[in-house]
Amino acid sequence: MVRSQIALGISHLMNNSRSSIATPKSLGYHWPAEWESHEATWISWPHNRKTWPEKFDPVPNLFCEFIRTVARFEPVHVLVQEDISRSVWNDVSAIKNVKLRQITTNDCWIRDYGPWFLSHAESQQQAVVDWRYNAWGEKYPPFDADNQVPGQIAKLQSLDVFRPGLVMEAGAVENNGAGVLMVTSQCLLNPNRNPNENKQSIENFLCEFTGASKVLWLFEPGQGSLAGDDTDAHIDQLARFVSTSTIVACREGNRLDVNYLLLEWLHHQLREQTDASGKHFDVIDLPMPAPVYHNGQRLPASYANFYVGNGFVVLPEFGCAQDKIAMGILKDVFPGREIIMINAVDLIWGLGAFHCVSMQQ
Whole-model pTM: value is 0.94
The residues, ordered by sequence, that sit 6+ positions from 255 with a Cβ below 8 Å of its Cβ are none
What are the residue ranges spanned by the domains of the chain? 6-360
The catalytic position among 64, 187, 250, 356 is 356
Amino acid letter for position 22: A
Identify whether the C-beta of residue 106 lies closer than 8 Å to the C-beta of residue 144.
Answer: yes
- Give the ranges where 248-320 is alpha helix by DSSP (H): 260-270
Instruction: Spell out the CATH class of 6-360.
Output: alpha beta
User: What is residue 4's predicted lDDT score, i.e. its pLDDT?
Assistant: 42
Task: Calculate helix-pair angle for 86-93, 59-71, nearest 10 degrees.
Answer: 30
Q: pLDDT tens digits for the chain (361 residues)? A: 333 444 444 334 444 443 457 999 999 999 999 999 999 999 999 999 999 999 999 999 999 999 999 999 999 999 999 888 888 888 888 999 999 999 999 999 999 999 999 999 888 899 999 999 999 999 999 999 999 999 999 999 999 999 999 999 999 999 999 999 999 999 999 999 999 999 999 999 999 999 999 999 999 888 999 999 999 999 999 999 999 999 999 999 999 999 999 999 999 999 999 999 999 999 999 999 999 999 999 999 999 999 999 999 999 999 999 999 999 999 999 999 999 999 999 999 999 999 999 999 9
User: What is residue 21's predicted lDDT score, i.e. its pLDDT?
Assistant: 73
Identify the DSSP state of 123: S
Identify whether the C-beta of residue 267 lies closer than 8 Å to the C-beta of residue 59.
Answer: no
64 is an active site residue: no
